Structures are given as structure tokens and as C-alpha cells.
Amino acid sequence: MKKLLALVLAMVMVMTAVSALADTFKVAFSQIGQESDWRTANTDSIKNDVGGHEGWELIYDDAQQKQENQIKALRNFITQGVDVILFTGVVSTGWEEVLKEVNAEEIPLILVDRMPDCINEIEYAAAFGGDFVEEGRRQTAWAGEYLKAQGRGDEEVNVVIMEGTTGADAQVGRTKGNLAGLEAYPNMKVIAQQSGNFTRAEGQALMESWLKSYDKIDILIAQNDDMALGAIDAIKGAGKVPGKDIIIVGCDSVKAAFDAIVAGEMNATIECTPLYGPFVVDAIEKLQAGETMSKTLLHPEEGVYDMDGGIDLGTVVSVKAADVIDQRQY
Amino acid sequence: MKKRFDFSTLARSKVTWAVVAEALILLVCLFVRPDFFKISYQPTTGMLYGNLIDIVNRSSEITIIAMGMTLVIALGGTDLSVGALVAVSGAIALKFLRWDVTIYNTPGDYTVYPFILVLFVPLIVCTLMGLFNGFLIAKGDIQPIIATLILMVCGRGIAQILTNGKQFTTQYSPFRVIGQGSLFFLPMPIIITAVVIALVVLFVRKTAFGTFVEAVGINRKASRLSGINAQMIIFIVFALTGFLSGISGLIYSSRIMSNDSNNAGLNFEMDAILAVVIGGTSMTGGKFSLLGTVLGSIIIRTIVTLVYYFGIASEATMAFKAVIIAVVIVLQSEPVRNYFAKRGKAKAMLANGGMRG
């Protein structure tokens, strides 16, 4: 009799456990894989915020930079019957078929960071991505406002723009923004625009040549922090003082850039945040509540960090890097 | 007896045309921007400062690798793994400098493990990886392009694993000396490259090793029949190339004081192969020219420096490089060289009083 009771009890417990599992809200995330510090911070942010949310279960898939792995993962998500799919595509093309399968199962799809080319052909609940044009605009606007704050607003200055990998979304957007931002500052003249391929080594070599080719360079706009960090060494090599003789504005806001700003060797960095977790959680909560969101690309809030803070760029006011360096996660 | 100047053999040599190509490129510079050639002394760094110095300095990584690549190509093979080994070397060096970034969380003028490990472990690991390539090729009889593809693909993965996918930075000053230090008023990479070239040339030309490599490259079976240990030659050449990639990786990571597993050494295999080919060594194997390779590497870097210096738009950069390289390769082609050689011969004959016998 006791045995039977125990058996019944055990079965009841298993049943409740199973039903509890079925009740959890499953969020699946197909990430492209490891790529950079930025990507790691991006993954961690979503994993922690979504995975740590009460009543939600995160199913994470690392595609190791391969599209076929990602397509497989998406199909697995469908068969597992997940409730929401978060998706960052390793490339921009070739997603239409599998994303339409997701649509056919009516699983809400949230696009994160990278937008597939077929975005207009598919259904999605929300899309989050960086605003490269705005980041580019902030770079040159920061330099212009900084000069004004220094009382150099009317001084004729020469600007060099170190671009990212030619054709990359970030390069195209930031270049557009850089040039648009300059329109408000007629005293700033672009004397060179070249690609440093987003790497430290090439940023360094490019700056080395620029310093020999142009007698007067006042401002360096580097479309990512790595190139700016490479350029700092080249500027030192030419016997100039980075951050003083040449104003350096980077982009991304990686930890090493904060270190350089605090050390006084770099002036500012425009944030391109990988911390999408809170925004994604918010979107999923809205979906659960039955709300619909706008189809336009949503941009996470991003800051500007510099040596002293307080530079007003219209959409954002800069923050002193030294004050927030300890809170930086990547 | 003094050897008479012979234009025809000179014109037939590919190395001559590499020199001509480099001279032509620099001549164009001279007309467009004479200040391109300015060299001055930079008191803050204690180094000479100028574009020509930059060209030689920045060509170091490729030149060093291309020394090994020349021998690999002379054997009739290619080594695609060199770029990935550059990344591995840098990752290991930074791993020993920083070890666990969660404990040592700010970069500074320190090293967690002794500097000797920072220097030698990357070189040893890269040599072993080169040996692995050699093993697959010599013992497994796998085509070099396939065998080295393995490390080309997984090398960067290994570098990523070593550093947990993170980019470590350091400020350890002895490490900085490798890529940013100076000796005799010259950047350290130039000195390191000069030593490497001298050692490789001595090893290859002052011993029978070079002849053995050529023999194996021309006909492996025949060379074995004539008593050459072809397997041993292959082992040595690939291990040497791995070792040289390791040196190149140390220079690369010291320049940026960080590891960059995604970008370090990216496309270096292509640049190294190109340097060898421009330098006059045939992809089919056999005869090779180490000094031609040095020149090839310098030509490649001259083009890059030109692009930067003259501010050629980033969209046009690739096309610009392609055009120059195409011209260089055409100058070196068989028909062009023969054409000039024949003309030279004809002129010499005319000077000697017309056709004789």
C-alpha cells in the first residue's frame, strides 16, 4: 500500500514538473558566434537578462559564424515549439526561406543587431539595431562642439576620417553621418578619408603615413576605437602628443578606449552598445501582454564618453569617461 | 678576367624586372610628391623618420614569412597557414603577458609569466604547427595546399580559444621593444628582418640545403633516387616557415601591444605568396630567389604606403593595387623578358659591328 502511494505521489510530482516545464515561456536566441569583445558582451547581455527573467527559459544557440548552423538552429527552434525567436544573422542574405518557415508557425521573431536583406518580405515583431548614421554624426559633432568649448570655434582645422572596412554597414552609415555632422561646422575641413579596415594595425600604419603626408592634422575621426588606439602609437612615434596636438574621436566605447581617455591620450568615444538585453526583455514583455510594436528599427540608448564630460550634442550630452569606467562591462 | 656586362641575361632575370617595377613606382612618386622621400631624425623616438623607413619597417612581417614561403614554393608547394599562425603567436604571447584578465584586469607594465616564455612559447608552438604541416605533407603525402588549409581554418579558432575570444592589451615595455623599439636609429622590426634574412640566406646558400630544396622541388622522386632525404627537407622547410610566422606574429602583436585573433595576419598568406612570385620564384617549384622575395615584399608595401600617402579613396584602393601588381607581373612575363633580352642582344651585336657568322 505504502509502495503504491509512493508511486502515485512520484507520478504526480513528475506530472507537475512536466506541466511546469510546458508552461515556461521559451525564448530562443540564434547568435552568430564569437567574433569580438563587442559580440561577447552582446551575447552575455541577452543571456543574462532573458535567461534570468522569471518564468522564461532561454534556449541559446551559438552558430560559430556559419549560416548553415543558424538555419539548422532556427528549424530546431520551430520543432521545439518555442514562443519567441531572437535572431542575429551572420550574413545578410539567404534567410528568406527559413524565416518564412518561422512566420508560418506564427512564432514571433525579434531581429537583433543585424537586419536580413529580406526584411520587407518577412513578418517580424520588432527589430533592434545600432544607428550608425547617428553615431557618425555624433563623432564629428563632438569634435565641433569640443573646439567651440575650447574657444577654437572659428579656427580653421584639418580633419582626417579613418573609415572602417569599405562596404560594411558601419562604415557606410558612419561615413554618411561623419560628413552630415560636419555641415554645421564650416571651420572643419576634411583633408583625407581612407579605410583602416577596423583594425589596430592598419589604423596605425595609415596614421603613420598621414602624419607624413599632411603637415597639419588637428582632428582624427576613427570609425572604431581599435583604429584610434592604433593611431595613438603612430602619433607618439611622430613626436606628437595624442589627445592634445591631435584630437582623437573613436567609436564603439570599448574598455581600452576608456583607459586611453582616462590616460589623456584619446578625447572621446561614441557608444555603440552591445547591451541589448533590457530592450529585448521589454519587447518580449510587451508581446506577452499582447501589444504590437512598430516595425521601424529601434535603436538602443547610447552615450558619448570623453575626458571632461558636458559636451551637448543635441540628442545626447557627453559623460566624463573616468566617472563610469568602473561600470563598463566590455 | 672581368665578366662582361651582359644585358640579355640581366633582362631575362625576373629579379631585374622586380627592381625596374619598384624603381618605376618610386619614380612616379618622385614626380607627384618629391617630399615622399624625405627622411628626418625623430628625437623623441631616436629613430629615422620617413616614408621609405615606413615601407621597409611595415614590410617586415611579410618579408619574414616570405623567406619561408620562398622555400615552400621552391619545393612546389604553398603554405596557407602562415596568417593563422601569426594570430596564434600573438595570442600565446598576450596570454602569457596577461594570463587571466579577470585577476589582472588592467593592462600595465607587467607580465604575469616570465618574459622568456612570452617570447619562446609562441615560437615553439608555431614551429610545432609547421612540423605538423610538414608531417602531413611528407609522411601523409597530402598536397601542401590541402594540408596547410587545416591550420589556416582552425588556427584562428585556436587563437580565439586561448584568449577566450577576447582582445588582451598590455603595456609591458620589454615586449614593446620588438615592434616599436629601435636599434642603430632604425625601427626594431627592420633589424629583426635583416637578421632573419641573413640567417636564412646563410643557411640556404652556404650549405647544400638550397640545392636540395631545388632538387626536391623539380623532381621529388629523382631527388630521392640521388640520395636526398626529401622528407627531411620538407619537414625542415615547413617547420622553418612556422617558426618565421611566429616571429612575424610577435612583431605584429608588439606593434599594437595586443592580440587580434580575427585580424592578425589576415591575408598574410596571399601577400607572402605574391611577394615570392613578384620576386621571381616560379609557383611550379625549383629555382628560387630569396633576395627577389625581399624585393617583392617591399613592392607590396610600397603600394600600400602610396595609397595611404596620396590619399587614394578607399573604394579605389583595391583596384589601384590590382593594376600595379598586374603591371609588375606582366613586366616579368616570359614574352616581355624575351623581347627585351632580344633587343639587348641585337643592340650589343650592332655595337660589335653587326652580325657575325
Q: Which of residues 21 through 40 in chain B touch A, CB cutoff 8 A? A: 33, 38
Closest CA to A254 of B167, B160, B87, B260: B167
DSSP conformational letter for B258: B
Could you give the CA distance from residue B26 to residue B36 in angstroms, rounded to a whole number? 9
CA dihedral B57, B61, B62, B65 (to 10 degrees): 140
Q: Give the pLDDT confidence of A223-244 residue by residue, as tens digits.
A: 999 899 999 999 998 889 999 9
Residue A67 pLDDT: 86
User: Which residue of A198, A204, A212 is in closest CB contact with B50?
Assistant: A212
CB contacts, 8 Å: A213 with chain B? 33, 308-311
Q: Which of B260, B264, B309 sits opposite A213 (nearest CB)?
A: B309
Q: Which of A88-92, A108-112, A300-304, B346-350 has the highest mean pLDDT?
A: A108-112
Whole-number Cα distances in Å, B316 to A171, A202, B301: 15, 17, 17
All structural domains of chain A, each given as residue ranges with its CATH number in brackets, are: 2-124 (3.40.50.2300), 132-273+303-327 (3.40.50.2300)
Quote the minimal CA–CA distance from B214 to chain A in Å. Answer: 36
Q: Is B325 helix (H, G, I), strand (E, B) or coil?
A: helix
A-contacting residues in B 152-171 (Cβ below 8 Å): 160, 165-167, 169
**Minimal-distance CA residue of chain B relative to A191:** B311
Q: Indicate the pairing of strand A109-112 with strand A56-62.
A: unpaired
**Partner-chain contact B255 A204, CB within 8 Å:** yes
Task: State the smallest CA–CA distance between residue B309 and chain A in angstroms.
Answer: 5
- Cα separations in angstroms, B335 against A178, B293, B331: 50, 22, 9
Q: DSSP for A237-304?
A: HTT--BTTTBEEEEEE--HHHHHHHHTTS--EEEE-----HHHHHHHHHHHHTT----SSPB-----E
Provide the pLDDT for residue A220. Answer: 96
* Closest chain A residue to the Cα of B156, Cα to Cα: A35
pLDDT of B216 > 50? The answer is yes
Q: What is the pLDDT of residue A326?
A: 78
B192: left (phi over 0), alpha (psi -120 to 50) or beta: alpha
A233 touches chain B (CB under 8 A): yes
User: In the structure, what pLDDT confidence band is assigned to residue B4 with cuts at 50, 70 and 90?
Assistant: low
Collapsed DSSP state (helix, strand, coil) of residue A92: coil
**Where is average pLDDT lowest: A14-18, B97-101, B139-143, B241-245?**
A14-18
Q: Give residue A288's pLDDT.
A: 87
Assigned C-alpha cell, A288: 506577452
- Rounded to the nearest angstrom, the minimum Cα separation between B118 and chain A is 20
Give every CB contact of residue B22 below 8 A, 6+ residues apart in sequence: B295, B298, B299, B302
Q: What is the pLDDT of residue A94?
A: 87
Q: What percent of chain B has pLDDT over 70?
A: 92
Pairing of strands A304-306, A126-128: unpaired
- Residues of A whose CB is below 8 A from B54: 205, 208-209, 212
Separation of alpha carbons B26 and B18, rounded Å: 12
Instruction: Write the CB contacts of B121 (distance below 8 Å, at least 6 apart in sequence).
Output: B92, B93, B96
Q: What is the pTM of this model?
A: 0.82
The answer to whether the CB atoms of B256 and A230 lie below 8 A apart is yes
Backbone angles phi, psi at A313, to 5 degrees: -110, 20
| Cα gap A182→A42, rounded to integer Å | 31
User: CA-to-CA distance for B216 and B286, rounded, in angstroms?
Assistant: 8
Cβ-contact A262, A325 below 8 angstroms: yes
The complex scores an ipTM of 0.84
Per-residue pLDDT, averaged over A68-72, amounts to 90
Secondary structure class of B319 (helix, strand, coil): helix
CA A102 to chain centre: 25
Distance of CA A79 to the CA centre of its chain: 30
In order, the DSSP letters of B71-98 are: HHHHTT---TTHHHHHHHHHHHHHHHHH
Half-sphere exposure of B89 (CA within 13 A, CB side): 33
Q: A–B: how many Cβ contacts below 8 A?
A: 100
Average pLDDT across chain A, whole number = 86
B179: nearest Cα among B188, B170, B192: B188
Alpha helix positions (H), B181-289:
188-205, 209-218, 220-225, 230-256, 268-278
Residue of B nearest to A214 (CA): B309
Q: B328 falls in which pLDDT band (50, 70, 90)?
A: confident
Q: Compare B210 and B336 and report the one with higher pLDDT.
A: B210
* Angle made by CA atoms A113, A119, A121, in degrees to the nearest 5: 160
CB A220 within 8 A of CB A247: yes
pLDDT at B45 over 90: no
Is A238 in CB contact (< 8 Å) with chain B? yes
pLDDT at A70 over 80: yes
pLDDT mean across residues, chain B: 86
Q: Does B309 touch chain A (CB under 8 A)?
A: yes
Which amino acid does the sequence have at A40? T
Please say if the pLDDT value at position A296 is more than 60: yes
Beta bridge partners of B50: B39
Name, in order, each residue with C-beta under 8 angstroms of B58's C-beta and a sequence gap of 6 or more: A205, A208, B301, B304, B305
Measure B164 CA to nearest chain A CA, in Å.
Answer: 9
Using the predicted structure, report yes or no on whether residue B26 has a pLDDT greater than 50.
yes
Q: Give pLDDT, residue A74.
A: 92
CA distance B91 to B98: 10
Task: Give the whole-number percent of chain B exceeding pLDDT 90.
Answer: 35
Nearest chain A alpha carbon to B38: A212
CA–CA dist A123, A103 (Å, integer): 6
Residue A30: pLDDT over 60: yes
Contacts of residue A245, defined as CB under 8 A and 6 or more positions apart, other chains included, come to A235
DSSP string, B30-74: HHH-GGGG-EEEETTTTEEEEHHHHHHHHTHHHHHHHHHHHHHHH
pLDDT of A302 higher than 60: yes
B186 to chain A, minimum CA–CA distance in Å?
Answer: 12
Residue A16's pLDDT band (cuts 50, 70, 90): low
Higher pLDDT, A54 or B191: B191
Higher pLDDT, A30 or A328: A30
| A125 in Cβ contact with A290 (< 8 Å) | no
State chain A's maximal CA–CA distance in angstroms: 96
Evaluate if residue A78 carries a pLDDT over 80.
yes
Check residue A205 and give its pLDDT. Answer: 93
Q: B6-15, B113-122, B163-172, B245-254: which range is least confident on average?
A: B6-15
pLDDT, tens digit, for every residue of A99-155? 999 999 889 999 988 888 888 888 898 888 888 899 999 999 999 999 988 888 888
pLDDT, tens digit, 9 for 90 and up, residues B67-114 = 999 999 999 899 999 999 999 999 999 988 888 767 767 777 778 788
Query: B176 and chain A: CB distance < 8 Å anywhere?
Result: no
User: Which residues, numbered 37 to 56 in chain A, qualify as contacts with chain B under a Cβ-Cβ cut-off of 8 Å?
Assistant: 37, 39-40
Q: Tell me, what's the pLDDT at B356? A: 44
Closest Cβ opposite residue A210 in set B42, B308, B313: B308
Q: Give A312's DSSP letter.
A: B
Higher pLDDT pick, A149 / B351: A149
Residue B1 has a pLDDT of: 45
Q: What is the pLDDT of residues A250-261, one digit of tens each?
A: 998 888 888 899
Three-state SS at B173: helix
Lowest mean pLDDT among A195-209, B216-230, B335-349: B335-349
The verdict on A200 touching B (C-beta cutoff 8 Å) is yes
Q: Which residues of chain B have a CB within 8 Å of the CB of A236?
A: 44-45
